[in-house]
Amino acid sequence: MKLISTDEAAERLGVSGRRVRQLIDEGKLSAQYVGGGYVIDEAMLEGVKVYGKAGRPPGKVSTADKAATGAANVKNGASVKKKGKR
């Protein structure tokens, strides 16, 4: 049983130290509080699922981006389809 710090766990998982502490608070990562910080059994890291970088997945367009693009099209003279009765 090898114990590691939250910073080392973060480096191995590819996330921030803050995210590791959040995983501990959520109960998704088991840890012990020792001497003012958490220590984690390195074997526990294998059971943790981390889903890439934070934020919106690539390729997704937000509503704000769609609205901005629509406004730019109106300024350029392009027609904008409206929903509703004709």
How many Cβ atoms from other residues are within 10 Å of residue 78's Cβ?
9
Residues 44/29, Cβ–Cβ less than 8 Å: yes
Helix locations, the chain, DSSP H: 6-13, 17-25, 63-75
Higher pLDDT, 84 or 46: 46
pTM of the full predicted structure?
0.57
Rg (CA), the chain: 23
Predicted local confidence at residue 49, as pLDDT: 76
- Is the pLDDT at 82 greater than 70, yes or no? no
Average pLDDT of the chain?
80
Q: What is the mean pLDDT of residues 39-67?
A: 75
pLDDT in tens, 15-39: 999 999 999 999 999 999 999 999 9
| pLDDT value, residue 31 | 95
